[in-house]
Amino acid sequence: MGNHSDGSPKHSGTVATAGQNEVEKFQDPGLPPHRLRLADTDPKAAKRAERQVAILFGVSIVGTLIFLGAYFAIDLGDDSTIATIRNQNLLLGLGTAFAMLGIGTGIVHWAKALMPDHEVSEERHGIRTEEDRQAAVRIVDDIVEETGIKRRPLIRNTLLGAVALAPLPAIAVFGDLGPRPDDKLAHTMWAPQDGKLKRLTRDPDGTPIKASDVTIGSAFHVIPEGLNELHEGKLNEKAKAVVLLMRLNPDSLKISPGREDWSYNGIVAYSKICTHVGCPVALYEQQTHHLLCPCHQSTFDLTQECKVIFGPASRPLPQLPIAVDAEGYLVATSDFKEPVGPSYWERDEHERLINS
Amino acid sequence: MKALSQKRRHPLAAIALLLMGLLLTGGLYAVATTVNQAKAETTTFSASDTEEGKKLFEANCATCHGMGASGTKDGPSLVGVGAAAVDFQVGTGRMPMQMNGPQAQKKPLQFNEDQTHQLSAYVASLGAGPAIPEEHLLDEKGNAAEGGELFRVNCAMCHNAAAAGGALTRGKFAPALADVSGKHIYEAMATGPQNMPVFNDANISPEGKRDIVTFLKKIEANGSPGGADLGSLGPVAEGLFVWVAGLGVIIAFTIWLTSRTS
Amino acid sequence: MSASSTADVPFEAKTKVGRFTDFVDERVGGSGILREFGRKVFPDHWSFMFGEVALYSFVILLMSGTFLTFFFDPSMAETHYDGSYTPLYNVEMSVAYSSSLNISFDVRGGLFMRQVHHWAALLFVASLGVHMLRVFFTGAFRKPREMNWVVGGVLLILAMAAGFTGYSLPDDLLSGNGLRIIDGVIKSIPVIGTYISFFLFGGEFPGTAIIGRLYVLHILLVPALILLMIVIHLFMVVVHKHTQYPGPGRNDGNVVGYPLGPVYAAKAGGFFFIVFGVIALMAAAFTINPIWNYGPYDPSPVSAGTQPDWYIGFVDGALRLMPGVVNDFHFEYVIFGQTLTLNVLLPALVPAGIIFTVLFTYPWIERWITKDNREHHVLDRPRNAPTRTAIGVAGFTWYCVMWAAAGSDLIATHFHVSLNDVTYWLRALFFVGPIIAFIVTKRVALALQRKDREIALHGRETGRIVRLPHGEFIEVHAPLDDYKQYKLVGFESPAPLPAQPNEHGVVTRKEKRRAALSKWFFEDRVAPATPAEVEAAHGHHEAIEGSEQKSLSH
């Protein structure tokens, strides 16, 4: 490059001003002369290219045979191993690849080496001619005139009204796509049923958990008692009710007023559903007491009632108030005191509803 | 598996390899039983083991963990962590730690199997804790499907559903579990090393842990039916592959296709 | 064709094939079509092939997808798996997931078809993206192709929709968590978000309706729309004829290339098989979406590394980058007693909104700034439009920062750095990355232009070193031939267009703004070498070659 050390492009030559371009342009020298290929001049080279194309088509035939062989010779019985499936997949794939690449590269090689390679120039035509435009305008004018729509505003206006309203049923018919949300998002299965407190049970087998089972450093993945017996809407309930149960040294917990009886001897239970967009926040670091969401990395500090300390979440994880029943099993003393999971427009309304 | 890799460095390794080949041809059953016997011995500790372990501990571990393993500001107390914790930490090379960092890393072993055994014996003698799992829990003959369910609920969020590992906060990570012995996987669950939570027997029963080990070993042995697994890292690896390799090959073809033949 | 006989003697075909062709031709008028298109000229360049890659990937998607529909059952009813993959034996799952597993393990060739379908989907969107980048950087979106650029943008969105609906169908843990994230994003929409969520899922998440609904969208509505858009797109390509790179013999009034029949048709047709072959190779040897690893969808578990397919990655990355709390300001707050979730709403909508708005309107923006209303059929070399190229690279960089953020956890584990630090860095790059990219790209483009200019003025370096009588060593430069020279000088380098008064003689404020933008757009420019300059350099060259060479040396 030149010695334009000051870096300004304006110094790199004369600055062309508008209009100057036109007079001082280079003339287009036209298409460069055509170069002949080896196969154009040497019959042997042409013959060689012909053979190569034929070989490539032959490769394709072999590929097809490999595919058929792998399909019919390898049987996926009940006792087929993963290795069998892997081998069959590999052979089917390689067969297809050879079959396709053989045809493809063969045709392209044929086109490149043997078909004429003269570059041709074709004129472009205007996309629209003025004559066409005028003819079109006349036609449209005539059509509009013949309908008389300009002279009959009553017809025009009622038609516009009818057309504007006609799509409404098409929108209305989607009204049954789903039920109204009401306050479904505000409640979970943890609410005591008929005065009986729900036990915390293990996910996935549903066996109850004793407080003594939960040693310091433990993390239990918890579902409410009775969830596995549900048939209708089991996953819907599970999607709201899953809880992570952990025990840490009671001294390290900072408990805010009103939550004194929500934990038991350092055992705490928090909703596993991230307050960001709802992934299960299940990564518990037992030494730092951080909970991490693997989807978007929101980090919650367990010792500060799951306050957000990093990431896109904005609200702490809801805490489930727990206690121990007469037999020593952990129970939820009530439902969550706020809606779980990601925020939604009516969330604050629902929180007030729960606490009223 | 660990026992084998230890002995591989021995001068007699070649002969051992030959012997192993013979044993293999002799029948898998025979191999299985000999390995079982070798491992079954590790769960019992003699008084001399404890004595030797104490010496090793005082020479190598006490700087951080304190005399009597009561802990210092540099290392936690090991009273009550159990033999399983020592066997895991020392047996995977994580202890003794090379330097302080976000977490102790796996590295070449600092102690041989006997020494690890002796250290375990000593720490186990200090207070009750999780023991080294018994052989029948590591036979990889549990229910893989139930193990898979337990793994997905309790482990996959950190270790990845295909056990390929994952990130934790501030430089910590959950390691990939391929090439980790069943015994060490079991011990990690029982003791909760570093930031991993503890999964005591009340949380995941010994049979459940056996199922998990069975599941992990099964998917590891199976490999991926679809071909190379691209690290089992999910859509990010797949996307990178299609952009680099897929489009790369396609571009190579387009350049060939549009170039002039000589 | 052979129908050159006189009008009064009806044409009689001689062969069987001829009679058949004639039968069809008399009824559909194929001769006219063939006459119009049979020798239509297409320019040849490797970068023109990405649209074809996308088209062919789509055809492969239709074929493999049809196969998959024969075995896939989109029901979310509960079942217990009894197929041959033992690590999931008897596990409770949906029929959709179970049938996906059966396709993978119990249908011969099913796994291959699944992998072909998914790799082709990734390649489809990737080639669309590269095609659009090519069109942008070469200025192919300019008049008369603005509308086709918009159709292309719609195709990109439809391709992403097709991909996402397909990603969710197997009802595995990965896609289920993906749907859950979508649900969370939808719920953050003010006023109607909760209703949309309930209507989409047929009630609470996950419900039992979503897979069936996505299935219909995936196999019917979205592909039909894609097909329609492809038809419109190709129709407009025919109307406009293809663009061509600048060069000798090529101008806005012609199109230079190979005729459709036989060369171009053979190459394009052969290329379909090549694309298919490459996809088949990937499907043969590389696992994609191993649904058996993830397990059935269950709202409780999640896997580390839960990410969407690459084309949704930038939205996921934006979600990751957005801090929920800054100091003590919470981005979620209550307004008039209702919850506004800006920490989700902003990253989910704003970056994608900006990218697509700029993408769709860019042809008009540039047209307004440059007041260039001419038709352009000759492309710009990216270096010859430095500001546009810099804008494109800045936008792409911005996209890539968000894209990288979607893999922040994998960056952390693979490069042994802290996950949090990766996020902090990417947050910074989100703002400064595009600016740096803009400045660097513009400088690089201008430098390349200057290099072109120097070569045009002084010829190419020959590598031959000559010692002059007074002892100085110089490298001899050889003059370019006319064709190569024209390639380096045959471009426009417009100067900024100052504000112009309107018909009332007033310079409006809008016009002033346009003039300012025009200045920004064209201010830094390198004019192409003119014949006079070359002449001067040449004469100069011959007279005192040594000193001229010295000024050229670095």
8-state DSSP, C79? E
According to the model, what pLDDT value does residue C545 have?
42
- pLDDT tens digits, C51-100: 999 999 999 999 999 999 999 999 999 999 998 899 999 999 999 999 99
Partner-chain residue, chosen from C41, C320, C325, that has the shortest CB–CB distance to A314: C325
According to the model, what pLDDT value does residue C94 have?
95
- C100 and C15 share one domain: no
Asked if the C-beta of C244 comes within 8 angstroms of chain A's C-beta atoms, the answer is no
> Which parts of C423-471 are beta strand (E)?
460-467
- What are the CA-CA distances from residue C42 to residues A110, A300, B200, B253 (Å)? 18, 59, 70, 18
- pLDDT tens digits, C396-436: 999 999 999 999 999 999 999 999 999 999 999 999 999 99
Specify the amino acid at residue B93.
G
Instruction: Kindly indicate the confidence band of residue A108, based on its pLDDT and cuts at 50, 70 and 90.
Output: very high
Specify the amino acid at residue A4.
H
Q: How many CB pairs (< 8 A) connect B and C?
A: 204
Q: Which residue's entry shows tokens 């036989």?
A: C262
Asked if the C-beta of A48 comes within 8 angstroms of chain B's C-beta atoms, the answer is no
Q: Is B159 annotated as a binding residue?
A: yes
**Is C428 contained in some domain?**
no
CB B236 within 8 Å of CB B169: no
Q: Name the residue among B145, B221, B146 with its Cα closest to residue B182.
A: B221
The mean pLDDT of C294-316, rounded to a whole number, is 93
- C7 and C58 share one domain: no
Q: Tell me what the pLDDT averaged over chain B comes to.
A: 83
Residue A322 backbone zone (phi > 0: left; psi -120 to 50: alpha; other: beta): beta
**Is C433 contained in some domain?**
no
Q: Which residue's entry shows tokens 């088209």?
A: C55
Partner-chain residue, chosen from C281, C286, C307, that has the shortest CB–CB distance to B235: C307
Whether A327 shows a pLDDT value over 80: the answer reads yes
Pick the CATH number of B44-130 from 2.40.50.140, 3.50.50.60, 1.10.760.10, 3.40.50.300: 1.10.760.10
- pLDDT tens digits, B149-176: 999 999 999 999 999 999 999 889 999 9
What residues form DSSP beta bridges with C250? C247
Asked if the C-beta of C214 comes within 8 angstroms of chain A's C-beta atoms, the answer is no
Residue B102 burial (CB < 10 Å; 0-12/13-18/19+)? Answer: middle
How close A78 gets to chain C, by Cα (Å)? 6
Angle, CA of B56, B61 and B67, to the nearest 5° = 90
How close A148 gets to chain C, by Cα (Å)? 33
CATH architecture of B135-222: Orthogonal Bundle (1.10)
- pLDDT tens digits, A54-101: 999 999 999 999 999 999 998 876 666 888 999 999 999 999 999 999
Chain B hits for A218, Cβ within 8 Å: 192, 197-200, 203
The mean pLDDT of A122-133, rounded to a whole number, is 89
Tokens for B207, please give them: 């049979």
Q: Report how far residue C179's alpha carbon sits from residue C177's, in angstroms, rounded to the nearest whole number.
A: 5
Q: Nearest residue on chain B to A218, judged by CA atoms?
A: B198
According to the model, what pLDDT value does residue B9 have?
55
Partner-chain residue, chosen from A82, A113, A209, that has the shortest CB–CB distance to B225: A82
The mean pLDDT of C225-233, rounded to a whole number, is 97
According to the model, what pLDDT value does residue B23 have?
54
Q: Is B155 annotated as a binding residue?
A: yes
How close C161 gets to chain A, by Cα (Å)? 20
Q: Tell me what the pLDDT averaged over chain C comes to.
A: 91
Q: State the best of C115, C275, C343, C449 to mutate against chain A, taking most chain A CBs within 10 Å.
A: C343
The number of domains in chain C is 2
How close B252 gets to chain A, by Cα (Å)? 12
Specify the amino acid at residue B214.
T
CB C408 within 8 Å of CB C430: no
Q: State the ipTM, two decimals.
A: 0.91
Partner-chain residue, chosen from C180, C332, C419, that has the shortest CB–CB distance to A343: C332
Partner-chain residue, chosen from B198, B256, B259, that has the shortest CB–CB distance to A218: B198
Asked if the C-beta of B226 comes within 8 angstroms of chain C's C-beta atoms, the answer is yes
Q: Report how far residue A340's alpha carbon sits from residue A37's, in angstroms, rounded to the nearest whole number.
A: 73
Structural domains of chain A sorted by starting position, each given as residue range(s) with its CATH number in brackets: 38-113 (no CATH), 184-355 (2.102.10.10)
Chain B hits for A213, Cβ within 8 Å: 200, 202-203
Instruction: Kindly indicate the confidence band of residue B11, based on its pLDDT and cuts at 50, 70 and 90.
Output: low
Q: How many CB pairs (< 8 A) connect A and B?
A: 99
Q: Which residue's entry shows tokens 């998440």?
A: C205
Percent of chain A with pLDDT over 90: 69
Whether C219 shows a pLDDT value over 90: the answer reads yes
**Is C42 contained in some domain?**
no
- C91 and C199 share one domain: yes
- What are the CA-CA distances from residue C386 to residues A15, C27, C141, C324 (Å)? 16, 53, 16, 38
Q: Is B65 annotated as a binding residue?
A: yes
Chain C: list its partners (3+ Cβ pairs within 8 Å): A, B
Picking from B119-123, B201-205, C300-304, C540-544, which range would have the lowest pLDDT averaged per residue?
A: C540-544
- b/e per residue C74-84 (b: at least 16 CB within 10 A): bbbeebebebb
Q: Is B61 annotated as a binding residue?
A: yes
Partner-chain residue, chosen from C89, C127, C307, that has the shortest CB–CB distance to B234: C307
- C148 and C210 share one domain: yes
Instruction: Kindly indicate the confidence band of residue B128, based on its pLDDT and cuts at 50, 70 and 90.
Output: confident
Interchain contact, C454 vs A1, CB within 8 Å: yes
Residues 6+ apart with CB under 8 A from B125: B45, B50, B53
Among B103-117, B174-188, C113-127, the range of highest mean pLDDT: C113-127
**Is C14 contained in some domain?**
yes
Instruction: Kindly indicate the confidence band of residue A12, based on its pLDDT and cuts at 50, 70 and 90.
Output: very low
- C23 and C161 share one domain: no
Which residues constitute the domain of residue C66?
Answer: 47-246+254-313
Contacts by residues C494-500 (CB-CB < 8 Å, ≥ 24 positions apart) = C494/A18, C494/C370, C494/C372, C494/C522, C494/C525, C495/A15, C495/A16, C495/A17, C495/A18, C495/C522, C495/C525, C496/C521, C496/C522, C496/C523, C497/A18, C497/C370, C497/C371, C497/C522
Instruction: Kindly indicate the confidence band of residue C382, based on its pLDDT and cuts at 50, 70 and 90.
Output: very high
Q: Nearest residue on chain B to A80, judged by CA atoms?
A: B225
According to the model, what pLDDT value does residue B8 have?
52
Chain B hits for A282, Cβ within 8 Å: 157-158
Picking from A148-152, B84-88, C5-9, which range would have the lowest pLDDT averaged per residue?
A: C5-9
According to the model, what pLDDT value does residue A15 have?
40
474-493 of C, contacting A, C-beta below 8 A:
482-483, 485-486, 489-490, 492-493
- What are the CA-CA distances from residue C369 to residues C74, C145, C147, C511 (Å)? 51, 17, 18, 9
What 3-state class would DSSP assign to C127? Answer: helix
According to the model, what pLDDT value does residue B76 have?
85
How close A243 gets to chain B, by Cα (Å)? 12
**Is C499 contained in some domain?**
no
According to the model, what pLDDT value does residue B21 have?
54
Domain range summary for chain B, segments of one domain joined by +: 1-41, 44-130, 135-222
Percent of chain C with pLDDT over 90: 72
The mean pLDDT of B71-91, rounded to a whole number, is 87
According to the model, what pLDDT value does residue A19 have?
44
Tokens for C124, please give them: 């489809």
What residues form DSSP beta bridges with C254? A123
- C178 and C94 share one domain: yes
Residues in chain C: 554
Tokens for A269, please give them: 């239970």
Instruction: Kindly indicate the confidence band of residue A8, based on its pLDDT and cuts at 50, 70 and 90.
Output: very low
Partner-chain residue, chosen from B172, B203, B223, that has the shortest CB–CB distance to A213: B203
Q: Name the residue among B233, A295, A63, A71 with its Cα closest to residue C287.
A: B233
Instruction: Kindly indicate the confidence band of residue B110, based on its pLDDT and cuts at 50, 70 and 90.
Output: confident
Selected residue with higher pLDDT from C532 and A304: A304
Interchain contact, B235 vs C289, CB within 8 Å: yes
How close B50 gets to chain C, by Cα (Å)? 38
According to the model, what pLDDT value does residue B28 have?
46
According to the model, what pLDDT value does residue A158 have?
95
- pLDDT tens digits, C269-303: 999 999 999 999 999 999 999 999 999 999 999 99
Interchain contact, A210 vs B202, CB within 8 Å: yes
How close B10 gets to chain A, by Cα (Å)? 33
Chain B hits for A246, Cβ within 8 Å: 197
CB A342 within 8 Å of CB A274: yes
Q: Name the residue among C45, C13, B208, C526 with its Cα closest to residue A221.
A: B208
- What are the CA-CA distances from residue C254 to residues B32, C149, C248, C249, C493 (Å)? 78, 21, 12, 9, 21
Q: Report how far residue A102's alpha carbon sits from residue A98's, in angstroms, rounded to the nearest whole number.
A: 6
According to the model, what pLDDT value does residue B2 have?
47
**Edge-to-edge strand order for the sheet containing A243-247?**
A319-320, A267-271, A243-247, A219-224, A198-202, A330-332, A322-324
Interchain contact, B257 vs C274, CB within 8 Å: yes
The mean pLDDT of B206-221, rounded to a whole number, is 94
Instruction: Kindly indicate the confidence band of residue C29, based on its pLDDT and cuts at 50, 70 and 90.
Output: confident
Q: Tell me what the pLDDT averaged over chain A comes to.
A: 89
- C177 and C220 share one domain: yes
Q: Nearest residue on chain B to C126, judged by CA atoms?
A: B243
The secondary structure of chain B as a DSSP string is -HHHHHHTTSTTHHHHHHHHHHHHHH-HHHHHHHHHHHHHGGG---HHHHHHHHHHHHHHTHHHH-GGG---SSS---TTSHHHHHHHHHHTT-SS-SS-SSSPPP-S-SS-HHHHHHHHHHHHHHS--PPPPPGGGGSS-S-HHHHHHHHHHHTHHHH-TTS--EE-STT-EEPP-TT--HHHHHHHHHH--TTSPB--TTTS-HHHHHHHHHHHHHHHHH--TTSB-GGG--HHHHHHHIIIIIHHHHHHHHHHHHSPP-
Q: Report how far residue C24's alpha carbon sits from residue C2's, in angstroms, rounded to the nearest whole number.
A: 15
